[in-house]
Amino acid sequence: MSEVTVILSRLDRGDADAARELIPLVYAELRQIAACQMAQERPDHSLQPTALVHEAYLRLIGAEGLPSFANRRHFFGAAAEAMRRILIDHARGKQREKRGGTWQRVELPEVCAPAADEDLLAVAQALPRLAADDPVAAEVVDLKCFAGLGRESIADLLGISVHEVRQKWAYARAWLRVAVEERS
């Protein structure tokens, strides 16, 4: 059992000191996940990786204290999900009328910022349907796209082979492409 899993089980039993021990162990990894996630966003994105980690941590903690995490995989999966939801909420906020959501955006020649908000929202809307069809493929998408993990890390976290991760990724990409095109 990893040290993180042991601390998570202590948290589940109500040990308040375990929360203080958990953060230093997972912070660097959460920061790395957030940095990978932010690398896929626009260069002018207003969120920074540190802010994303802190916001995800607050969402994980919630108003009622720490939720129960079965193991390290469950914790990092929940963290990746929290980060994904934060980025989706941020993208939705940018599309609101008070943020100029219906205005036409004009790219200046010297600024090369990809507009990924619409793609992110389309994937976010299709992902629950993919999870209903193939939960493992949806987890692979979450960990690869939103947590920035590589095949080996995903295979380790999900307890499957790297080959199966490749298969699930290929399936999910094709499935999501069709789902996003149907939405358009």
Closest CA relative to residue 124, chosen from 138, 105, 104: 138
**What's the pLDDT tens digit per position in 83-120?**
989 988 888 877 766 555 566 655 544 333 334 566 77
Q: Is 160 helix (H, G, I), strand (E, B) or coil?
A: coil
With contact defined as beta carbons under 8 Å apart, do 20 and 77 qualify? no
d(CA 151, CA 163): 9
Q: Which residue has the tokens 């790219």?
A: 107
**What's the pLDDT tens digit per position in 169-184?**
999 988 988 888 876 6
- Where exactly are the structural domains of the chain? 3-183
* Mean pLDDT over the full length of the chain: 80
Phi-psi region of 145 (alpha: psi -120 to 50; beta: other; left: phi over 0): alpha
Helix residue ranges per DSSP H, the chain? 3-12, 16-39, 49-61, 72-95, 117-133, 135-141, 151-158, 162-183
